[in-house]
Amino acid sequence: MATRTASERRAEAARRYDAYIASCPTRQLLDRISDKWVTLVLSALADGPKRYSDLSRRIAGVSQKMLTQTLRSLERDGLVSRAVTPSVPVRVDYALTPLGSTLMPLLAHIKQWAEQHMDEVAAARAGHDGAG
């Protein structure tokens, strides 16, 4: 029987919509830069290449697992380059790629909005919570 229940039809609509959303470039970008560590790593690399341990120190809160994972994913996406110097001990340098650099104005825009308006958001939040 091709007859489907309402819940089955809803489920499929949701799946199709999910697929549509996943394919949306804006969503993909948002997924990328919304990551807590991604923005911190990109910002850290904005003023020049850094070694792994440099990044680890500058982004004090990050675990090695997340730092490595973040760098790997950024490298995979062509936003960050990874250069290994096979000395002893090993030396690895990370840097923004040209593509990665084009993201910086966008991050600046985000930072600008945040600095201009987040206090209004905070005020709205306080008022809302206070007024109950």
Partner DNA sequence: CGGAATCCGCGCGGATACTG
Partner DNA sequence: CAGTATCCGCGCGGATTCCG
Binding site for DNA (CB under 7 A): 7, 11, 14, 35-36, 51-53, 56, 61-66, 68, 71-72, 82, 89-92
Q: Residue 52 touches which of DNA, a second copy, none (CB < 5 to 8 A by kind)?
A: DNA
The DSSP secondary structure of 97-125, one letter per residue, reads -HHHHTTHHHHHHHHHHHHHHHHHHHHHH
Q: Considering the rule CB under 8 A, would residue 83 count as an interface residue with a second copy?
A: no
Between CA 120 and CA 8 the distance in angstroms is 43
Q: Residue 120 touches which of a second copy, DNA, none (CB < 5 to 8 A by kind)?
A: a second copy
Q: Residue 90 touches which of DNA, a second copy, none (CB < 5 to 8 A by kind)?
A: DNA
Sign of CA dihedral 10, 13, 19, 20: negative
